[in-house]
Amino acid sequence: MKSEEALRDSSQTKTNSSQTARTGVSEPASLSTRVESPAQSSPPINPFAPDDGRYVTKEEYWARWYENPYPDIDVSYEWNNGRLEAKPLPNEPQLDLYNWFLDLLRHYISTSPIAKLINLETGFVLTIEDPAEPSGQREAVRKPDIGVILNSNPAPWGGVDRRHFDGVCDMVVEAVSDSTLAEVLRDTEEKRRDYALAGVKEYYILDPGGEHMRFYRLIGGGRYEEIQPDAEGVIGSDVLPGLQFRLEDLARQPKGDELALNDVYSGYVMPNYQVAVTKSEAEAQRADAEAAARQEEAAARQAAEQRAEAEAAARQEEAAARQAAEQRAEEEAAARQAAEQRAEEEAAARQAEAAARQEADEQMRAMAEELDRLRRQSS
């Protein structure tokens, strides 16, 4: 890759190459010093931008080259102090990033309508102090990929008959053109310098490759400082308060519904979607809570039924225990009664036996006495 110094030399050589021989249009007298010797050959004509590098007056530019100069060629020209500069066509990654960022700005303005957008084919005039010019100034007509015009801008925008913006955009976004190093230099250095000198408050350079991605804010004196991301990798705008985005999302390019639920973007991307999702989530949470309450209620009923069944079983066990105790008491009483009866019978038997023994003893005594008497009688 060429160095930036070589790039500037290449760009200047291209700028200084004469187009008069191939276009038939003489350059303005104030630009005559830029024309090279006729002996030098002109660069080849780009069939997709046949007038690139051609010198025309600003009046000629407005009349012939500002809008659709070639209906059969998709080419758009900017005007840089007398010289036509073709805006290169974007490739697919550049177009994807451009569209994603444009959608982000549209979301912001839809939520906070403090500005209007111009894009692609709408130009505005830069008037820049330049001591090198005889008039002390130079002019350019730039067609930013995206221009932001605050409602507070001194120059109003929005008339149906307006073909270009008469003021200076408050913010400009350019998708870097990187098919040649000269194009890279135009976006990253020339336009950055001119936008700052003209008073564009913020200048964003989009690059899907990331190498040339930059975000600038005006700090006075016609100078920019680079906007640094915060600790979370978020870039914030001063021109559009509340507009912020993650650097990593410029590569990832998440869709709107994902952005709407992200804290970085939720303040301005699809707030109605956020409300709907929040409402849906609330309804889902309410349904979950009601289902949980029903489950808890059913569990409580089941627990109560189980407690009732346990209490009934306990009562049954208690009744059975009482019945068993009563039965045991009855059996013990019957056993005691039987024992008492046996004891009484045994006592009666012992009494009868004692009476029988006494009677027998008496009979024996009586017999003994009778024998004694008989013996005495016989003797």
- Tens of pLDDT, residues 322-339: 999 999 999 999 989 988
Of the chain, the percentage scoring pLDDT greater than 90 comes to 54
Give rounded-to-5 percent helix, strand, coil for the chain.
50, 15, 35
Report the pLDDT averaged over residues 309-334.
91
Report the pLDDT averaged over residues 214-224.
94
What are the Cα distances from residue 80, in Å, to 88, 156, 341?
15, 24, 140
At residue 277, the pLDDT reads: 62
Kindly report, residue by residue over 266-294, the tens digit of the pLDDT.
889 987 776 556 656 656 777 787 888 88
Q: pLDDT band at 115, cuts 50/70/90?
A: very high
Sign of the four-CA dihedral 153, 154, 160, 162: negative
Residue 48, phi then psi, degrees to nearest 5: -90, -10
Cα separation, 356 vs 123, in Å, equals 153
Q: pLDDT band at 21, cuts 50/70/90?
A: very low
- Give the start-to-end residue ranges of the domains of the chain: 1-87, 89-269, 271-379
20-34, 120-134, 146-160, 365-379: range with lowest mean pLDDT: 20-34
- More confidently predicted of 258 and 177: 258
At residue 26, the pLDDT reads: 35
For the structural domain made of 89-269, what CATH number should be given?
3.90.1570.10
Cα separation, 278 vs 274, in Å, equals 6
Residue 10 has pLDDT above 70, yes or no: no
At residue 64, the pLDDT reads: 93
First to last CA, the chain: 180
Residue 120 has pLDDT above 90, yes or no: no
At residue 283, the pLDDT reads: 66
At residue 189, the pLDDT reads: 94
Give 113's DSSP letter: -
Residue 340 has pLDDT above 80, yes or no: yes
> How much is the mean pLDDT over the chain?
84
Kindly report, residue by residue over 85-113, the tens digit of the pLDDT.
998 888 999 999 999 999 999 999 999 99
DSSP string covering 199-218, please? T-SEEEEE-TTSTT-EEEEE
Residue 18's contacts (CB-CB under 8 Å, 6 or more residues apart) are 27, 35, 36, 38, 40, 42
Q: pLDDT band at 160, cuts 50/70/90?
A: low
Q: By the 8 A CB rule, do 80 and 126 touch? A: no
Residue 8 has pLDDT above 90, yes or no: no
21-25, 117-121, 200-204, 279-283: range with lowest mean pLDDT: 21-25
